[in-house]
Amino acid sequence: MTFDLASRLAARRAEHLYRQRPLLQTPQGPDVMVDGERLLAFSSNDYLGLANHPEVIAAMQQGAAKWGVGGGASHLVIGHVTPHHELEEALADFTGRPRALLFSTGYMANLAAVTALVGQGDTVLEDRLNHASLLDAGLLSGARFSRYLHNDAGSLGKRLDKAVGNTLVVTDGVFSMDGDLADLPAICAEARQRDAWVMVDDAHGFGPLGAAGGGVVEHFGLGIDEVPVLVGTLGKAFGTAGAFVAGSEALIETLIQFARPYIYTTSQPPAVACATLKSLELLRRENWRREHLNRLIARFRQGAAEIGLSLMDSPTPIQPILVGSSERALKLSAVLRERGLLVGAIRPPTVPAGSARLRVTFSAAHSEAQVERLLDILAECWNRLAEEPETDA
Ligand code: PMP
The per-residue pLDDT for range 208-265, each reduced to its tens digit, is 999 999 999 999 999 999 999 999 999 999 999 999 999 999 999 999 999 999 999 9
Q: Is the pLDDT of residue 136 over 80?
A: yes
Is 345 in a helix, a strand, or coil?
strand
Last residue of a domain, one of 223, 256, 285: 285
Q: What integer pLDDT is reported at residue 390 of this predicted model?
A: 59
Q: Is 235 in the pocket of ligand 1 (CB under 6 A)?
A: yes
Q: What is the pLDDT of residue 393?
A: 41
Catalytic residue among 53, 75, 84, 204: 204
Is residue 201 within 6 Å of ligand 1 at its C-beta?
Answer: yes
Give φ, ψ of 217 to 5 degrees. Answer: -70, -35
Q: Do 272 and 297 sit in the same domain of this protein?
A: no
pTM: 0.95
Number of compact structural domains in the chain:
2
pLDDT of residue 169 exceeding 90, the answer is yes
- Residue 305: pLDDT band by 50, 70, 90 thresholds? very high
Helices marked H in the chain — which ranges?
A: 5-14, 54-67, 82-95, 106-117, 132-141, 153-161, 184-193, 215-220, 249-258, 260-263, 270-285, 287-307, 326-338, 368-386
Shared domain check, 250 and 322: no
Instruction: Return mean pLDDT, the chain.
Output: 95
Q: Which of 45, 170, 233 to mutate to test the pocket of ligand 1 (most atoms within 8 A of CB)?
A: 233
Q: Which of 219, 236, 278, 366 is catalytic?
A: 236
**Does residue 66 carry a catalytic annotation?**
no
Say if residue 64 is in the same domain as residue 23.
no
Same domain membership, residue 185 and residue 166: yes
Q: Which residue, 235, 262, 285, sits at the end of a domain? A: 285
Segment 328-364, tens digit of pLDDT: 999 999 999 999 999 999 988 888 889 999 999 999 9
Q: 44 CB contacts (<8 Å, ≥6 apart)?
A: 28, 29, 51, 361, 363
Residue type, 376: D
- Three-state DSSP class for residue 88: helix
274/303 same-domain check: no
**Does residue 17 register a pLDDT over 90?**
no
Ligand 1 atom with the shortest distance to the CA of 235: 15
Q: What average pLDDT score do residues 76-91 get?
A: 98
Work out the average pLDDT over 83-94: 98
| Residue 192 assigned as binding residue | no
pLDDT at position 349 is 85
Range of the domain at 325: 18-47+287-386
For residue 19, what pLDDT band results from cuts at 50, 70 and 90? Answer: confident
CATH number at residue 24: 3.90.1150.10
Closest residue CA from atom 12 of ligand 1: 106
Q: Is 133 in the pocket of ligand 1 (CB under 6 A)?
A: yes
